[in-house]
Structures are given as structure tokens and as C-alpha cells.
Amino acid sequence: MKKIMFTGGGSAGHVTVNLALIPRFQSEDWTVEYIGSHAGIEKQLIADVPNVRYHGIATGKLRRYLDWNNIKDPFRVVKGVFDAYRAIKRGKPDVIFSKGGFVSVPVVLGAKLNRVPVVIHESDVTPGLANKIAIPFATKVCTTFPDTERHLPKKKAYYVGPVIREALGRGNAAGGRAWSGFTDRKPVMLIMGGSLGSRRINLAVRESLERLTGRFQIVHLCGKGQTDDSVKAPGYLQIEYVQDELPDILAMTDLVVSRAGANSIFEFLHLRKPMLLIPLTRAQSRGDQLLNAESFRKSGYCDVLQEEDLTADTLVSRIDRLYDNRQAYIDRMEKGAPHTDTLGNLMSLIKGVAKKR
């Protein structure tokens, strides 16, 4: 029996591709295990997946800025390498698939020490810091954007396109309305700032809530610890994060306000949901979401509102404009969205790497 170990975490975006692949490998009788942090969101998400053994390891965040934790975290990373090495040595996987995030670095290094091949997936236009560190130790690096290949070693780069969770296509709008208590007589807007949330987006939504709920019913995914019970309005539902309900929520959704993480925006594109993207700024990130959003804007799939320009007034005006022109966005998505079997291609690559071991 073949075995695969997955890794990736720190945010939901570093887990979603793994969640799409795991059921496929299980359906072909592979044994599946997961290596993540002791308390990260990946542990919470994988806990809901049946028949997946989870290994927690020590982790240290990789920062591009000065922070006193930079002194301690290298020691955590080193411990994480030893933790991962032992888990991989005991588990004897045929291949490891890494989605990135800081937890993946010790795992990739542990795999190298065990001579286990690693396939990495990079969602964004340019590789993140964790993947940059891990790429020299990987066998193959899969990309979502074709342009990413020019940032990678030619022999390792492999364009697969966007990976979409198959469950999202099975959503039911009536199920979404039953869960939310919404009606079918008023459009639905989904607002999300990523699994960790966005205080700036949340604040702008709450300041403009009366105007927004005049036109829309709203599902507001606020992020962990960022709901506000004092904010209430008819047709407004706030929640930290959803997983199982997301397909039904998206099925009833008419437009989306979101950050510009690659996995999420490609899922919205696949489902033909007009988007207003508010990417993380360069001060908050390495600028990957700015590149993702600009790529989608140029293709006509979304409108972009920079966080520096985000106010209650600009949020309402841009949402109204997006909804008024929603059919034009949907038409462009129909014409330009990729139509490849990304999951199938990615699985074939991973199995091919495992076979050569």
C-alpha cells in the first residue's frame, strides 16, 4: 500500500489544496498522514478529515521584519526538523506533498534527510519565503500561474493551474438559505478577510452595514476572535470561519468581497462569482496578493480596492458598481477561466514522483 504525507499550514490557504487532494488519494487506497504544527489552523481543519493521522511538530515563523521572536524561532525550526525527521522515518512515506507555510520548511528538510521525494505547490505568482527555502530540496514545484515558472529552476517547475476543491461544486443554494435564514428575494454577498480575518475590512463593513443591508443579505466571515456581538442587522450573519457550510454559502452567493489569496480567488473564478478584492498591502505581506489581484483585474474577473483607499463610503460604492455590472464579469469568467483537470494532473505528477523513488 502506498503512503503519502501532506504538510502546509499557518492559514487556511496553505491547507485547501491538501483538502482537495486527500480524498482522491484515499479513494485509490493510499494511506494518508499529515504533518503540521501543534496548534495551527491546519490541525483544526484536518481533524474533520477521516482516516488521516496527524503529526504535530515544533514550528517557528519565518519573518521578513525585526521581531524579538526572531531570536527564539530558529531554535523552534531546528526542533521541528528533528520532529519531522522522526515522523517521516517512522512513517516511511513514498512521497511528501507540501503546500507551504512556515510549518512546511522543517518537513521538507526532514524529508531530504530521509531521502523521501517532495512535491511543492506554489499558489501565488511569486514563491513565498517558506517555499523559496524549500525549493532547493524539492523534486518538483507545481504552479498555479504560468508566469511563476520563470521564478523557478526549469527542471523542477511544472504548471498545473488552479486546484479547486470538488466539494465546492456540490453546493446547494437552498441549503445555504436554510443554514443562514436568508430568502431568495434579495441578493447575497459573502465578505471574507481570510481565515485569520481582517480588522480593517471588518471595521469598514460595520460602519457601512445599514447601507449594505439595504441592498444585500450578508454572510460576513470575520476571522478568529473578530466577531462583534453588538453589531446586528436584519439579513446580516457574522461568523468566525466556515468549512462544511462553505459550498452551500457560495452556491447562494451573488458576489464576493475578499482578500486576494490565490486559492480563494481561483475558487471564486471557477464558480463565476464577481469579486471585489482588497489585497494585503506590502506593509502587511510580501506583495503576493497585490500581484494576484492585478492579474485577475487585467483579465476582467474582478474589481480591486486597495486597502489604503478602503473606507465605508468607498466600500459601498465599489460593491454597488460591481453588482450593477455583475453580468459582464460573469461573461468574462465564462470565456477565460481554465478548463483543465488540475487535480488529475497534479495527482499524476505526485504518483509519478513516488513511483520513481
In the chain, where the domains are located: 3-161+340-356, 167-336
Ramachandran bin of 325, using left for φ above 0, alpha for ψ from -120 to 50, beta for the remaining angles: alpha
Which CATH superfamily does the domain covering 3-161+340-356 fall into? Glycogen Phosphorylase B; (3.40.50.2000)
What angle, 0 to 180 degrees and rounded to 10, lies between the N-to-C axes of helices 312-324 and 326-336?
70
**What secondary structure letter does DSSP report for 310?**
-
pLDDT at site 47: 93
The identity of residue 301, as a single letter, is Y
- In this predicted model, what pLDDT tens digit does every residue of 327-343 receive, in sequence order? 999 999 999 887 778 89
Q: Are 293 and 262 in contact (CB under 8 A)?
A: no
Q: If pLDDT is split at 50, 70 and 90, which confidence band does 197 have?
A: low
Strand order in the sheet with 140-143: 52-57, 31-37, 3-7, 95-98, 118-122, 140-143, 157-159
| pLDDT per residue as tens digits for the range 3-61 | 999 999 988 888 999 999 999 999 999 999 999 999 999 999 999 899 999 999 998 76
The 10s digit of each residue's pLDDT in 206-253 is 999 999 999 999 999 998 889 999 999 999 999 998 888 999 999 999
Position 66 pLDDT exceeds 90: no
pLDDT of 195 above 70: no
What b/e readout covers 13-47, taking b as 16+ CB neighbours within 10 angstroms? bbbbbbbbbbeebbeeebbbbbbbbeebbbbbbbe
Assign a CATH topology to domain 167-336: Rossmann fold (3.40.50)
In sequence order, what are the beta bridge partners of 5? 33, 96
pLDDT band (50, 70, 90) for residue 114: very high
Report pTM. Answer: 0.84
Instruction: Provide the pLDDT confidence category of residue 129 given band limits of 50, 70 and 90.
Output: confident
